[in-house]
Amino acid sequence: MQVWPGQSYPLGATFDGAGTNFAVFSEVASRIELCLLHDDGSETAVELREADAFVRHAYLPGVMPGQRYGFRVHGPYDPARGHRCNSAKLLLDPYAKAMSGDIDWDESVYGYRFGQPDSRNDLDSAPHTMTSVVVNPYFDWADDRAPRIDYHRTVIYEAHVKGLTMTHPGLPEEIRGTYAALAHPAVIGHLVELGVTTLELMPVHQFIQDHRLSDAGLANYWGYNTIGFFAPHHAYASLGDRGQQVLEFKTAVRALHRAGIEVILDVVYNHTAEGSHLGPTLSLRGLDNASYYRLGGDKRYYTDTTGTGNSLLMRSPHVLQMIMDSLRYWVTEMHVDGFRFDLAATLARQFHEVDRLSSFFDLVQQDPVVSQVKLIAEPWDVGEGGYQVGNFPPLWTEWNGKFRDTVRDLWRGESATLAEFGSRLTGSSDLYQDDGRRPLASINFVTCHDGFTLRDLVSYNDKHNEANGENNRDGESFNRSWNCGAEGPTDDRQVKALRQRQMRNFVATLMLSQGVPMLSHGDEFGRTQRGNNNAYCQDNELAWIAWPDKRGTGEDADEAHRMHEFVRTMVWLRRDHAVFRRRRFFHGRPVEGTHDELSDIAWFTAEGGEMTQREWQAAHARSLVVFLNGNAISEPGPRGERVTDDSFLLMFNAAPSAQEFLVPVNHGKEWQLVVDTERPEGVPPGAGERVAAGDRILLADRSMIVLQRPAD
């Protein structure tokens, strides 16, 4: 076999049409072998003799796409000094663009039993591990263009590749649960009809199954267990795992882009699947443990701010390079439109504390590729000082956990929530205005993958995670949920009607709040996980969307169809009206340059009087009227023209009893009813009733209505 010197960059395996360049970093290794794996189980070892800045490299003519490979690293095994090299371990390439096979948790090979460390042994792991794959980078993107949807027009739909598509009745069975399903007209048509603009995929970086879950007959369903930051997860490919997963993922992105839908990835750069000191040696640990991971004072152990056993060393230039190379790869080669960063506070821990000035944020800020896509932080981790909502740099948006908590508290009837609810409804200026950010920095959500679904939020007071095998100890115990009078399924029609109304309240509040709304997949049908608020290990019907058959009949089918239609209506109401998606915060006064004497926003009591400080702070207060002035939108349109819109009145009655509301007398003579969450369909039929200034409207308990007035 010919072996040429090759190049030290780019890292990983790079096919150029005639052969493949291999490059891998390790500062601690004394010798590294590239192992080419053959289908008969044999391997050909090639020592990487060339080295530049601790990167070993070689070019092999004739090595084609589909070739499986791995690395064997010779070097010190000295856990007390943080070194865990072991040439018996066939290691995955951290820069591999695809990975093949699965891990066979043979305990004699991995030295891996609960409570025992991954001790050194000389048993070859090759027959039991995954392998890296050389891929062909060519793909016909045709006329693909990034949709580049502005934040103020964005509606995010968080989904799981398998959970979204596994039971869809319009999909061929052979592609259900795969990237190919995302590209199918049945799935794309649903997203387009619903009105979402941006599909946020739960982890699709290559991840592995946990030994513990496998032994228990469960699975790592969510995928927050990454082992390859450049490789699409092979189990979501319908065509194979020798590079086909790359082509299939690109095909899905291309199809979604043609429909005008962005693709955002939920990425996990805070830790890897190698876990704690008890975990297996699969890749980074065996290459250069101390360069990649944050070690404790006793270097046998890892500093963990993620709850997974390890955290990546965010002051290491090699870790930072790997993350930035990965982000750029997914933007430039895979054409994704942005990222949601799991446990992003850990990425800011350059030393110990969370620091918004850390090197990672500096690199993102100046990067000409990564800085131009959507960047969303999950602004917390499990370490000390990890809750950082509102503290990320101006380039970033954030999952607004305070929006979730406040909206849940209001509708379940908690006291003294009205003032904070007003802030969350208007874009959380208390969190984002001081550092120059706008309402669009707030990614608003009521539910997400982690926690109760929307239906379960109104059906359970307590979590019911027994199926996870941890005696219901896992998952959040304080959910801010309310079961409406009965725990779980019930035949009580009053309870069921209240639950439907509460779901409509949550959706309407989410869609009519300033900021960027995010829906969780299946909530548009009112899906349930039967009270399980931590379905991370449930790769089955419990966690998959139960798609309703359009021809279905019966009460449950009717409820699902009505809920879907209401969610669709609310999404399009938001998309059609700029007053719900302002790019700047409200001023609370008339806007200069307009001829409208009314302020851009006004707040009223149910009796029609302006809200006072005392009324904002009243513990018993459960009602509120909000006037949104469509004539006072301060930002210009896309061509510089002044934007005007219809005006709206939002009336909230979160009290446990019906209440009369007075339509304010000085903010419009006549209004049209467009939303009423007390009605089973959520919207009035036809044009809706007309309401005049000074009229009194009876709002049912725990309901809201929306009135609309045409622009002047």
Active site residues: 342, 378
149, with CB counted inside 10 A (0-12, 13-18, 19+), is middle
Whole-angstrom Cα distance, residue 364 to residue 382?
Answer: 23
Does the CA dihedral 195-198-202-204 come out positive or negative?
A: positive
Whole-angstrom Cα distance, residue 277 to residue 115?
Answer: 10
Find residue 23's DSSP bridge partners: 12, 57
Whole-angstrom Cα distance, residue 432 to residue 511?
Answer: 19
Give the pairing type, strands 516-520 and 442-444. Answer: parallel
Write the single-letter amino acid at 587: H
Structure tokens at 275: 């876990």
Q: Are 98 and 231 in contact (CB under 8 A)?
A: yes
Whole-angstrom Cα distance, residue 577 to residue 647?
Answer: 9
Q: 198 to each of 70, 151, 246, how far by Cα in Å?
A: 36, 10, 21
Q: Are 661 and 647 in contact (CB under 8 A)?
A: no
Cα angle for residues 141, 145, 146 (degrees, 5° grid): 120
Q: How far apart are the first and last CA of the chain?
A: 79
Q: 625 to each of 195, 651, 706, how far by Cα in Å?
A: 27, 4, 10
Closest CA to 226 of 296, 282, 159, 173: 282
Whole-angstrom Cα distance, residue 52 to residue 83?
Answer: 21
Write the single-letter amino acid at 142: A
Q: Which residues of 418-456 are buried (b: 16+ CB within 10 A; e: fewer)?
A: bebbbebbbbbbebbbeeebbbbbbbbbbbbbbbbbbbb
φ, ψ at 582 (rounded to 5°): -65, 150
Tokens 């100046």 map to which residue? Answer: 366
Q: Say whether 557 sits in a helix, a strand or coil.
A: helix
Cα angle for residues 98, 103, 106 (degrees, 5° grid): 160
Cα angle for residues 499, 505, 510 (degrees, 5° grid): 130
Q: Say whether 58 sits in a helix, a strand or coil.
A: strand
Q: Are 520 and 447 in contact (CB under 8 A)?
A: yes
Whole-angstrom Cα distance, residue 376 to residue 340?
Answer: 4
Structure tokens at 433: 């205005």
The C-alpha R_g of the chain, in whole angstroms, comes to 27
Quick one: which H or E segment has residue 361? Answer: helix 359-366
Closest CA to 452 of 526, 376, 378, 561: 526
Structure tokens at 226: 């990454």
Whole-angstrom Cα distance, residue 281 to residue 284?
Answer: 8
Write the single-letter amino acid at 77: Y
Measure CA 43 to chain center.
39
Whole-angstrom Cα distance, residue 437 to residue 396?
Answer: 9
Task: Return left, alpha or beta for 505; rule: phi > 0 is left, psi -120 to 50 is alpha, else beta.
Answer: alpha
Write the single-letter amino acid at 463: K
